[in-house]
Structure 1
Amino acid sequence: METFDAVRFYRFGQPADVLQLVRRRIREPGPGELRVRMTARPINPSDLIPIRGAYPHRTPLPAIPGYEGVGVVEAVGPFSPSSLLGKRVLPLRGEGTWQEQVIVSAELAVPVPDALDDEAASQLYINPVTAWICTETLRLEPGVTLLVNAGGSSIGRIFAQLAAILGFRLIAVTRHARHTRELLELGASHVIDTSDADTPSLREAVLAVTEGRGADSAIDSIGGGDGAELASCIRPGGTIVSIGLLSGVPVSWGEVAANCGIDARLFWLRQWIGSVPNHVWQDTFAKLLELIARQKLKLPGICRRYELAQFGQAVLDAETPGRQGKIILVNYS
């Protein structure tokens, strides 16, 4: 039985302290499974937050990080389509992707079109699917105003593009002026830069933009005080959806919702994928791939590439403030 490299953690803590490169045995794929040789995986905040122990009840140890990526099918198990051999797929909802080989369910693997390169394909899951499902859940359509924080993030840019595609009005909140022009070009209606000394409180800025009405809905990626402040900018009866915890500080959403007179919801991608049938899963990717093929949706560029064994430096780089573009872990051999 062959062995291969994998990044693993046996306890929670700072990624630089707890992540280890180990050798792991590989098994042959079982019935309905594929074995995929990984070629690229981006480093996302959602990969690093669980390592620090933010969700201990959902992260059994030891664990291998990595929720998304792309690879080549090297072996198929019984009752799996042999036509996938040698094809590129997104090996999702199986093992962590920060390893050389991944075992995945054949029916959940998403085939990758030839026209899409590995680096774009590797980013097709966490942010695009989350943003797409949120727009469907909130029924965002022309005339509806959505407020998002972390506007300069990868998912913030996707929301801006979806605003242009679907016609809703997006107000993006950022912490640096460098994001303003790009977000407006992508599709945001307004950008509020909270680092600008001339910017009033976020609530006052949003009320000014919405002529005193407030946003219809909001999406919080940060949590903590930022999430609570975002909620204060929503009109009574509106909705806020929490999709992330970049600050690492939870929000008492029940209390916030009661104080603001709004509906507060939590969106966990893991819960969504556990409840949808396979055809909805595949149809969601088909819609996103169509938007990419039509050049309506573009994913972030790559800042730097690191081999899997260089994960330590890659993680440090991924958390460097002000970085532009994605840090990606690759396998060249």
Structure 2
Amino acid sequence: MQIKYLVCNEFGNPKDVLQLAQKPMVTLASQELYVRMLACPINPSDLIPLRGSYAHRVRLPITPGYEGVGIVEAVGDDVSSQLIGQHVLPLRGEGTWQEMVKVHVDYTVPVPNDMAIITASQLYINPLTAWVVCTEVLSLKPHHTVAINACGSSLGRIFAQLAHIIGFTLIAIVRNERHTNELLAFGATHVINATTENIHETIMALTHHQGVDAAIDSIGGETGTNLAFGVKAKGDFITLGLLSGQQVNWARIANDTTVNTTVFHLRHWNRQTSVAKWQATFQIVVALVESGKIKLYTEGKQYSFSQIAQAIDAVNSGEQGKVFLIGNV
């Protein structure tokens, strides 16, 4: 049987460098299984490496896709056949943007079969990142105040909901008013419009000129650098991404502030976390979503793997909502 998959052979505009190809299915190792993909969200973290931003650690060719949900189709000799037909997240192995993903059983996360596949497909990158950053990296408590930029994003929506769950004060920074009411309803205490307000002055006014306990940056560049100056002395500044394509000015932050700086990469946390803890953390996230305490997107624009160019156009349009690659449901 041939598997259709998306592959990138050179860095560049994702729309131009991604190609649909085919490869044969190979025999499973004893602890592997095959997962037929049902839905995969397209995240900024999926596309940034294709442009060459992380060329120093990305080896071509690559199949993109960090997350998605599928159904177990076949298992290796040492894997229980009871998993066949189970909806799972096949993670930390091959890219998910393909019809069939081969994955080690340890990195297969079962999810309820009755959970909507659009919802289930989003359970990894953003929810796990937000939960680990809030509960492990920052150990946030109700008395903490946190500023987060790019808060109109999928990740920002989850941070707002965790602010409500944990009880910390969230200052959400956005580019326009489109997400303000939603973020306030989810759990943000204040929303700053970066287009019309001075971020630093507003943070200082809201914190009685003390600065926030922590700031979380997903943009980088000058925007991220300036956010670090809104953190109080000995507070925490964490970077999660490079939506701008540029690093923050680490030298300026080190020389002109006294904040503690951290670069959080989910892949690093994955590597240093035991399989048992990794799976247990996922079950916390799944339970929060299943209970409705964390709400993910329930719909979005959907494309087949062969429509990847149109899907990327939809992502680049900046319209509200998510974009998904859909397999054979």
Q: TM-score range by the shorter chain?
A: over 0.9
**Would you say 1:332 and 2:325 are equivalent positions?**
no
Aligned position for 2:142: 142
Residues 40-97 of structure 1, C-alpha deviation per residue, up to 9 Å, x if partnerless?
Answer: 0000000000000111122111000000000011110121121101111000111000
Q: State how far apart, in whole Å, the 2-side matches of 1:258 and 1:294 are.
A: 45
Q: State how far apart, in whole Å, the 1-side matches of 2:227 and 2:46 are.
A: 24
TM (normalized to structure 2)? 0.98
Secondary structure of 2:56's counterpart equals helix
Q: State how far apart, in whole Å, the 2-side matches of 1:218 and 1:154 are.
A: 17
Aligned position for 1:190: 190
Secondary structure of 1:297's counterpart equals coil
- Return the match for 1:301 from 295, 298, 301: 298
- Contact kept in structure 1, 2:69 and 2:120, CA below 8 Å: yes
- Contact kept in structure 2, 1:28 and 1:75, CA below 8 Å: no
- Return the match for 2:250 from 249, 253, 262: 253
Aligned position for 2:168: 168
Q: State how far apart, in whole Å, the 2-side matches of 1:91 and 1:270 are.
A: 15
Aligned position for 2:44: 45
Q: State how far apart, in whole Å, the 1-side matches of 2:114 and 2:313 are.
A: 32
Secondary structure of 1:49's counterpart equals helix
Q: State how far apart, in whole Å, the 1-side matches of 2:297 and 2:247 are.
A: 28
Runs of 4+ in structure 1 deviating by more than 6 angstroms, as ranges, are none
Residues 274-320 of structure 1, C-alpha deviation per residue, up to 9 Å, x if partnerless?
Answer: 11001111111111111112211101232211011101110111121
**What is the 5 A alignment of 1:100-179?**
100-136=99-135, 137-179=137-179
Q: State how far apart, in whole Å, the 1-side matches of 2:192 and 2:217 are.
A: 15
Secondary structure of 1:116's counterpart equals coil
Unaligned runs of 5+ in 2: none
**Would you say 1:318 and 2:290 are equivalent positions?**
no
- Contact kept in structure 1, 2:37 and 2:328, CA below 8 Å: no
Secondary structure of 1:22's counterpart equals strand
Q: State how far apart, in whole Å, the 1-side matches of 2:254 and 2:131 are.
A: 24
Letter in 1 for 2:150: A
TM (normalized to structure 1)? 0.96
Q: State how far apart, in whole Å, the 2-side matches of 1:272 and 1:242 are.
A: 14
Letter in 1 for 2:219: I
Letter in 2 for 1:298: K
Q: State how far apart, in whole Å, the 2-side matches of 1:194 and 1:75 are.
A: 50
Aligned position for 1:33: 32
Q: State how far apart, in whole Å, the 1-side matches of 2:255 and 2:78 are.
A: 52
Q: C-alpha root-mean-square deviation of aligned residues, in Å?
A: 1.0
- Return the match for 1:288 from 273, 278, 285: 285
Identity of aligned residues (%): 47
- Contact kept in structure 1, 2:15 and 2:308, CA below 8 Å: no
1:192 CA drift (Å): 0.2
Q: State how far apart, in whole Å, the 2-side matches of 1:163 and 1:257 are.
A: 28
Letter in 1 for 2:147: L
1:6 CA drift (Å): 0.5
1:178 CA drift (Å): 1.2
Residues 112-151 of structure 1, C-alpha deviation per residue, up to 9 Å, x if partnerless?
Answer: 1133111000000000000011002101110100110001
Residues 199-254 of structure 1, C-alpha deviation per residue, up to 9 Å, x if partnerless?
Answer: 2x211000111111111001100000111011011001111111100000112325
Aligned position for 1:234: 231
Q: State how far apart, in whole Å, the 2-side matches of 1:272 and 1:252 are.
A: 24
Secondary structure of 2:106's counterpart equals coil
Q: State how far apart, in whole Å, the 1-side matches of 2:306 and 2:121 are.
A: 18
Secondary structure of 2:181's counterpart equals helix
- Contact kept in structure 2, 1:254 and 1:264, CA below 8 Å: no
- Contact kept in structure 1, 2:68 and 2:89, CA below 8 Å: yes
Unaligned runs of 5+ in 1: none
Aligned position for 1:23: 22
